Amino acid sequence: MGIFSTLFGGTKTNEKVSDLLQRGALIIDVRTPEEYKAGHIKESVNIPLNIIPNKVNELKRKNKPIVTCCRSGARSGMAADQLRKAGIEVENGGPWNSVQAMM
């Protein structure tokens, strides 16, 4: 199970996500608008994965930590990597409903 915990979140990742949420992190759901409309975290912002590179400067200006989420955690992991490389404090929250349960 070790590799799956690493890929899709484990205790340490959950602790980091929980910490960021307590600090007022911006929640970014990187699914498509159609997926987002089918169900999402009320406080989240929908920025599809393919749009993330165009939003980096705007997200930096918000000066807030970020938690990314999607359906399974794969796309949100890719988004988190992009944002981290841009110097933004970010954690992959994995599936959106898991992030919602942490709130």
Q: Buried (b) or exposed (e) across 56-90, using 16+ Cβ within 10 A?
A: eeebeeeeebbbbbbbebbbbbbbbebbeeeebeb
Annotated active-site residue in 70, 80, 88, 99: 70
Does the active-site annotation cover 69? no
CB 25 within 8 Å of CB 103: no
Q: Return the DSSP state at 40.
A: -
Q: Residue 33 has which token pair?
A: 């608008």
Positions marked catalytic: 70
